[in-house]
Structure 1
Amino acid sequence: MANNYNNLAKSIIKNVGGKDNVNSVVHCTTRLRFKLKDEKKANDDAIKDTDGVVTVVKAAGQYQVVIGNEVNDVYEAVIKEGGFPNGGQVPDDSDDDSSFMDKAISLISGIFTDILGPLSAGGIIKGLVVLAGVIGLLSIKSGTYQILYAIGDSIFYFLPIFLGVTCARRFKMNQFIGLAIGAVLTYPTMVQLASSKTVLGTLFANTPFASEIHTNFLGIPVVTMNYTSTVLPIIFAVWFASIIEHWANKWVPSVIKTFIVPVVTMMITLPVAFIVIGPVTTWLGDGIGAVMSSIYHFSPIIAGLLIGGLWQVLVIFGIHWGIVAVATTDLAALGYDPILGLTCMVCYAQVGVVLAIIKQTKDPNLKKNAIGAFFSGLFGVTEPAIYGVTLPRKIPFVLSCIGGAISGAIIGAFGSVLYMIPSMGIFAIPGYVNPKGNSTMQIAGVVLAAVVAFVVGFILQLVFGKKYVDRAYDEKQAKKVQEISKAAVATTNLSTSLISPLNGEAIALSEVKDEVFSSGAMGKGMAIKPTEGILCAPADGEIIMTFPTSHAIGMRTKDGAEVLMHIGMDTVNLQGKGFKTLVEKGQQVKAGDKLVKFDIPAIEKEGYTVTTPIVITNSSNYEEITPIVNGKVKVGEKIIVLQGNDKKKILVSGQQKLA
């Protein structure tokens, strides 16, 4: 498996323009996020066609390669293969000509990407612990509850410390200075000072931004605030610190840089952070939250329809991180967030659509990809479903957005809000548990939203989306049939015979457990239950059809009979596992030549039969087709006689159904 990741990494790096074209690369739950020097050097089609890649997305100033659940392993292989410094996480934006919005989105995305896993883990643990306390499974005064709650809550409480590290990476400065800035902002004495009863004055009194002054710094009034769990103050503080650090590095002598640069950086940054940056960014966050909340309070249902319906579009372009940042701010200021909570069950609309597609598709590759995407989606990871299944087919994606809008409206109608940053899918549900009161109706609304989204997505796809599922696949298959069916005039001897291509037991075609074959719809013939995994040529002729999955093969005998041999039923689903084609299309063969090798025990272990129909797909050209054996049969033994009165010119149809 490691070799597969290494090969995939080599292919990706080559087709993004080589490692010299990469400024940085990070990853999220399902995507590699490249910052390229020149996106024009990337070969989009080659990357999309690479096994292991779902698709390519260009958004938020990033070149995003969607991998799926194995993105972490692929990312490590990319870092190793490319030899990227600092884990590929330090960008160089010197020649970045992307828009301000793209840069802002890329910044927020990059800051949160590295801690997404711990944030999700904390959300799951904290939610389950709170739920256990609410239902009485754990006493909130017990040591067990307090320890488990600390495990879940710590990353949220000390979020500025974690963000201090990731921000420092993004701003290309000493990561430990970033960590130290976050630690000072959450220092217990400063947190306690924010709630001190000693008030020296009030700034912006009688306005929504009224703030008490509890202390001063060198005579300058300081608006002390609680910066635990906040986002914007640490981002801007570290950005300011990076400017100071770069400035200090220019004039501090090399022999004392190690300790003097951090001293200068912290001594300038932190007072400014407490006096200016912290209060201003907190007010900014409060303002953004107020706007979002006003939309919600105008109509939670309308807000749910809009945000739930657009959420997947925001995910595609990577701009959903803005809402995540606002939600974090709301949680710090209000103790709850109503906006992000409208989106958490959208994934089940996508999952419902994908399940319907699994039921509808005839394309084995799509079915395989959709099944994997379905299970990922159950846990809220919908990128494989979006990029690999619904978005390429357009209408199914639109239908999933409709289901998502309905889920958001239901959550809004029930007044369900988040009390912590959630995980995804079913693991988001504990995030709606109110640790201070009864949340039965809120939880019921969320569960109902998930169920309705799933059902709506499933039904909409069944009713309106079917014709969009296999359009490309059908065109591809039609082209394949056309190639097989090239008009060719052949002289056909209507009195001929076929020998057994297998060792085994001959049975009537009607006994095959597949209606297409047993009914004779594919043509007349017989079937053999093989005892040995070698399929041979039943006559002299030409191979006219092979399959990538090697489960079937077609040939035209020198006398013009078109013979299809199909090893097992539904074995196409094995995607070639246990099969090996030994000949090529267009190859001339002699009776008894080996055509396909297959592993009977391995195929049967997967739950498939190896009973092999042998049918004459141009049966209408013959007056009579008669199987002449029953029971044990060996390769080379005559098994079918094809009878006619004379030789005549016929048009080779080749229009057999592709099974």
Structure 2
Amino acid sequence: MKYEQLSKDIIKNVGGKENVISVVHCITRLRFKLRDESKANTEVLKDMDGVVTVMKSGGQYQVVIGNHVSDVFKEVVAVGGFDTTTDQDEDDQEKGSLFDRFIDMISGIFTPILGVLAASGMIKGFNALFVAVGWLDDTGGTYQILNAVGDALFYFLPILLGYTAMKKFGGTPFIGMVIAMALVYPALEGIPAASDPLYTLFAGTMFESPVYIEFFGIPVILMTYSMSVIPIIVSAFFAVKIEKFLAKVIPSVVKMFLVPMFTLLVVIPLTFIIIGPIATWASQMLGDVTVWVYDLSPIIAGMFLGGFWLVFVMFGLHWGLVPIAINNFTVNGSDAILALIFVHSFALAAAILAIWIKTKNEKTKTLSAPAFISAIFGVTEPGMYGIALPLKRPFIFTLISSAIGGGILGFFGTTGYVMGGLGVFQFPSFIHPEEGINTAVIGSLIAVVVGSVLAFVLTYLFGGINKQETIKPEIDADKSVAVTTEQVDLVNGEVITSPLAGEVRQLSEIKDESFASGAMGKGVAIEPIEGKLFSPVTGTITALFPTKHAIGITTEDGAEILIHVGMDTVNLGGQYFTSYVEQGDKVEKGKLLIEFDLVEIKKAGYLVTTPVIVTNPDKYGLISFTEQHIVKPTETLITLENDAK
């Protein structure tokens, strides 16, 4: 029940259950396919507690949650009653640009297996590390069993992809699995080693292929499909088309077994004869192209991929590179793409560490700890969206540092030999199967150190951390100065707490001249993230507008406070506002005064920026304002002083 309300709010603000085609999740994000993205309340979602940010990319509406996304996903599915066993229908798949559909396809196929894929790679990497340092003998039983644990998924990868690809394309997943099982069937894989070829096709070309068997007189080019990626995905695509056609023409009474039977009888021979060889050649060419680009200049390739990887992640473009990397492991036994982006999470972690140490903002400091830990382990979204991007400079310094780290990795020729884990768990994947720990592995350590130190120093010295987080209040030379409550000893003072949860802004920033000019009094504005207004002081309700959008409170010591919810919201006539007090009531600090519907007010076209004003500032010799960027109810917002020591 922990995330029930959050899940309800998310579903409501993505346009409701009826607007959701499908929902899946990756390491940090809920990935929605929506029928109409314009129905989603993006700004409301971004402001929710429990939501880091919202991204739109690759035809998906992505709600970034953080490390506990799997728990939220379970609650979203339960609350929404969504069916996670099937994907969107064929008509929905056709929506969006070709590129969006491609990215959506790749993410839909690979996202479900990323966790176990990374886990298997980590086991293989650590097993190689144990052999390299002499803890295990590669002929011993312990090594063999651990190798089987780590290698099983990769060897039978087509079977898993057969399931996820068929599910993504809208077919029966088990048909895809059976197609993949046929591709890795041991008896067929062993034929080339046990017999001589009948003849050779395409002799003298790059596609030269010996033929060992025929299917009704048609030559079959046997390939090695274990650990392959592209052949099964292409086969699954055609299998779905054939399955749907057969389902329309075969009578319902025998449909249950005849549809899969004829689908398999058509697709599996077709895959061995045509799809498999062509897809395999395409895989080999794709691998050769990436190696060729890398060979042109490993340093430039490293700087480009390292520097822009986080940008790719922001827009979901990294999904176009992940299958290439997996294909490289299959075709070449190694991959440089995922190796060259290795430093990015450490650079981000270092930048967040600098922010953590230097910031005076308590909320930022609180967020930095888990974001730093997540980044060390390769999960970058919490730190990127929650801290680095909003502060801008730390994000830029992270990209620069990651680019330099990528260049160093390219210089040392650091390459991955298994699809390993993320962050620190990726280190073992760089260990050469035969050479063990070599200069390439040492280079990865150097790259991490250089990238991390650079990101930390740049962010600490030039990140403008507190400058960007501090609200600069208005200064009237006669009446107030911009000081914090820690910088002055109070005498006969009053503390006004925040009536709302939200972002603090200067009055001069708001779009209302009467407030922005200071004519109404001294104070600050709050951009609320929750539609609840609490009393900032103990006092008496001296004014309550009939429209309930504004309220005046006078404290026991005579401070007069005006709180005005939104700009021009008087025009709503009280709609979307509920008051729990009346004029003349005495209230305690922290009492709920008014509730208002943020979503509906924004939909009606009104700003919800809320000025909190001291309307009798002449009574005080000194007025100071919070330096917090984000405030919660009961946190100090304004300090009034009659005198100072």
CA contact (8 A) 2:352 2:383 kept: yes
* Cα distance in 2 for residues equivalent to 1:426 and 1:255: 55
Q: Which amino acid aligns with 1:586?
A: I
Match of 2:442 among 441, 444, 453: 444
Q: Distance in 1 between matches of 2:95 and 2:173?
A: 26
8 Å contact 1:213–1:221 — kept in the other structure?
yes
Q: Deviations over 1:619-657 (max 9, x none)?
A: xxxxxxxxxxxxxxxxxxxxxxxxxxxxxx965244236
Deviation at 1:369, TM superposition (A): 1.8
CA distance 1:209–1:327, shift in 2 (3 Å): farther
2:470 alignment partner, one of 456, 469, 474: 474
Size of the alignment, in residue pairs? 530
2:342 aligns to what SS in structure 1?
coil
**Candidates 38, 42, 45, aligned match of 1:44:** 42
Letter in 2 for 1:242: V
Could you say if the C-alpha distance between residues 229 and 101 of structure 1 is closer, same or farther in structure 2, counting changes exceeding 3 Å?
same
Contact 2:87 2:170 in 1 (8 A): no
The answer to whether the aligner puts 1:363 opposite 2:358 as a matched pair is no
Question: Which residue in 1 is equivalent to 2:269?
Answer: 271
Q: Is the 8 A contact 2:351 2:398 kept in 1?
A: yes
The 5-angstrom pairing of residues 210-249 of structure 1 reads 210-249=208-247
Partner of 1:79: 77
| AA matched with 2:470 | D
Q: Deviations over 1:586-610 (max 9, x none)?
A: 353389x98699xxxxxxxxxxxxx
The separation in 2 between residues aligned to 1:544 and 1:188, in whole angstroms, is 76
User: How does 1:190-229 map onto structure 2 within 5 Å?
Assistant: 190-229=188-227
For 1:68, the equivalent position in structure 2 comes to 66
The alpha-carbon deviation at position 267 of structure 1 amounts to 0.4
Query: Which residue number in structure 1 is paired with residue 547 of structure 2?
Result: none
Q: Distance in 2 between matches of 1:159 and 1:14?
A: 38
Q: Distance in 2 between matches of 1:321 and 1:259?
A: 36
Deviates more, 1:336-345 or 1:250-259: 336-345
* 2:177 equivalent among 176, 179, 202: 179
- Supply the distance in 2 between the matched residues of 1:486 and 1:62 (Cα, whole angstroms): 54
Question: Hey, what does 1:493 align to over in structure 2?
Answer: none
Say if 2:52 and 2:65, in contact at 8 Å, map to a contact too: yes
**Residue ranges of structure 2 left out of the alignment (5+ in a row):** 502-534, 540-551, 559-586, 592-616, 627-635, 637-645
Q: Given residue 5 of structure 1, which amino acid in structure 2 is its aligned partner?
A: Y
Cα distance in 1, alignment partners of residues 484 and 39 from structure 2: 49
The answer on whether the counterparts of 1:363 and 1:470 sit within 8 Å (CA) in structure 2 is no
CA distance in 1, matches of 2:26, 2:455: 26
Instruction: Measure, in 2, the Cα distance between the counterparts of 1:486 and 1:178.
Output: 78
Q: Secondary structure at the match of 2:196?
A: coil
Match of 1:656 in 2: 624
Report if aligned partners of 1:23, 1:92 keep a CA contact under 8 Å in 2.
no
Q: Which amino acid aligns with 2:273?
A: I
- Using the alignment, how far apart are the partners of 2:427 and 2:209 within structure 1? 35
1:656 and 1:97 map into 2 onto residues whose CA distance is: 54
- Verify the 8 A CA contact 1:516 1:522 in the aligned structure 2: yes
Are residues 6 and 521 of structure 1, via their aligned partners in 2, closer, same or farther at CA, if it must alter by over 3 Å? closer
Identity %: 41
Matches within 5 A, 1:572-611: 583=538, 586-589=553-556
- Structure 1 339/546 Cα, relative in aligned 2: closer, same or farther at 3 Å? closer
Query: What is the SS of the residue equivalent to 1:586?
Result: strand
Q: Distance in 2 between matches of 1:486 and 1:39?
A: 51
TM-score, length-scaled by structure 2 = 0.77
**Residue pairs, 1:149-164, within 5 angstroms:** 149-164=147-162
Alignment correspondent of 1:352: 350
What corresponds to 2:488 in structure 1? 522
Post-superposition offset of 1:57: 0.5
- Alpha-carbon contact 2:28-2:65 (below 8 Å) kept: yes
Aligned-partner Cα distance in 2 for 1:47–1:261 = 44
Deviation, 1:371, is 2.0
Secondary structure of the residue that 2:135 maps to in structure 1? coil
Relative distance call for 1:49 and 1:221 in structure 2 (3 A) is same
Partner residue of 1:623? none
> Paired residue for 2:306?
308
Contact 1:17–1:42 under 8 Å retained in 2: yes
**Residue 582 of structure 1: CA displacement?**
8.1
CA gap 1:158/1:548 in 2 versus in 1, 3 angstroms? same
Shift of 1:48: 0.3
1:300 to 1:404, Cα distance in 2 relative to 1, 3 A: same
Aligned residue in 2 for 1:553: none
Residue among 249, 253, 256 paired with 1:255: 253
Q: 1:524 to 1:40 in 2, by over 3 A?
A: closer
* Equivalent residue letter for 2:242: I
**Residue identity opposite 1:17 in structure 2:** G
Considering only CA atoms, is the larger Rg found in Structure 1 or Structure 2? 1
**1:36/1:62 contact within 8 Å kept:** yes
Assess, with a 3 A threshold, how the Cα gap between structure 1 residues 385 and 206 changes in structure 2: closer, same or farther: farther
Alignment of 1:486-565 (within 5 A): 521-523=487-489, 544-546=496-498
Which residue of structure 1 aligns with residue 293 of structure 2? 295
- Decide whether aligned partners of structure 1 residues 125 and 95 sit closer, same or farther in structure 2, where only a CA change above 3 A counts: closer
Bigger Cα displacement from structure 2, 134-143 vs 264-273: 134-143
2:537–2:588 Cα contact (<8 Å) kept: yes
Q: Indicate how the Cα distance of structure 1 residues 335 and 402 shifts in structure 2: closer, same or farther if over 3 A, else same.
A: same
Structure 1 residue 392 displacement after superposition: 2.6
Q: Report matched runs for 1:328-347 at 5 Å.
A: 328-347=326-345
The reply on whether 1:35 has 2:33 as its aligned counterpart is: yes
- State the shift of 1:114 in Å: 0.4
Helix, strand or coil: the match of 1:4? coil
> Is the Cα contact below 8 Å between 1:350 and 1:400 reproduced in 2?
yes
Picking from 107, 110, 115, the partner of 1:109 is 107
Match of 2:609 in 1: none
Contact 2:537 2:555 in 1 (8 A): no
